[in-house]
A and B are shown apart, each in its own frame.
Chain A
Amino acid sequence: EPEVTQTPSHQVTQMGQEVILRCVPISNHLYFYWYRQILGQKVEFLVSFYNNEISEKSEIFDDQFSVERPDGSNFTLKIRSTKLEDSAMYFCATRERGHTEAFFGQGTRLTVV
């Protein structure tokens, strides 16, 4: 069964460093999302991406964050200068055009120290 693949599964970074989280969407899915889940809290929407541009973003997704699809396969989330409060599980999700549900990856646990 096709699945969304995220790498790395766990990343530890120092405060102020840049991190890039990677996602390989399910083939032929055209809608891409990033969500985050701070430990013990709800799953929060960050950004949606379609047709090579951001279609919607939340208040969390400030100038420190960016997304891109650099090579037509990977979908990345970049955090430019990490803060302690960026520590969370980050989920990538993708959706096929004409379908309602999104499929989630296993997540990347980001720990900022």
Chain B
Amino acid sequence: AQSVTQLDSQVPVFEEAPVELRCNYSSSVSVYLFWYVQYPNQGLQLLLKYLSGSTLVKGINGFEAEFNKSQTSFHLRKPSVHISDTAEYFCAVRSSSASKIIFGSGTRLSIRP
């Protein structure tokens, strides 16, 4: 079975500062990894995904994430955040042999001016 752990429930940062949202996963088989963003009162939007190959993946809105197999991590980063990045961010995993996507508990990113 797969599981996802997001270590921080809330991350406050100042505008234009860098941010890292942490995610660790566990699985006995190969996985696909995702980050989704949920803006207030909206649905889930795919930020980026890791399937295979290069461990550094780039997504929309300037976000990127790095897959680290040895540490079973898939941390999300952005070098300089904007007020508009205020949202809930969900790390998710899907086994290569299954259909469902399992979500972490989410990290609320709040940006201070």
Instruction: Show the binding face of A for B, using Cβ within 8 Å.
Output: 31, 33, 35, 41-45, 48, 50, 55-56, 91, 93, 95, 100-107
Residues of A within 8 A of B103 (CB): 35, 42-45
Q: Are B102 and A45 in contact (CB under 8 A)?
A: yes
Q: Is B46 an interface residue (CB 8 A)?
A: yes
Residues of A within 8 A of B45 (CB): 104
Contacts A43-B44, A56-B98, A105-B43; A100 near B105 (Cβ below 8 A)? no
* 5 A-B pairs (CB sep. < 8 Å): A33-B101, A55-B99, A101-B34, A103-B46, A106-B42
Nearest A residue to B6, CB-CB:
A42
In the complex, what distance in Å separates the CA atom of A43 from the CA atom of B88?
A: 11
Q: Are A104 and B49 in contact (CB under 8 A)?
A: no
Beyond the given A45-B101, A101-B32, A104-B45, please list 4 additional residue pairs across the A-B interface where CB-CB is below 8 A. Answer: A42-B103, A55-B99, A91-B43, A102-B101
Residues of B within 8 A of A44 (CB): 103
List the 7 shortest-distance A-B pairs measured between CB atoms, nearest first: A104-B44, A43-B103, A106-B43, A42-B105, A100-B32, A48-B99, A104-B43
Q: Residue A56 contacts which of B36, B51, B99 (CB distance < 8 angstroms)?
A: B99
Q: Are A56 and B49 in contact (CB under 8 A)?
A: no
Q: Residue A50 contacts which of B36, B99, B105 (CB distance < 8 angstroms)?
A: B99
In the complex, what distance in Å separates the CA atom of A31 from the CA atom of B94?
A: 14
In the complex, what distance in Å separates the CA atom of A75 from the CA atom of B98?
A: 21
Residues of B within 8 A of A45 (CB): 100-103
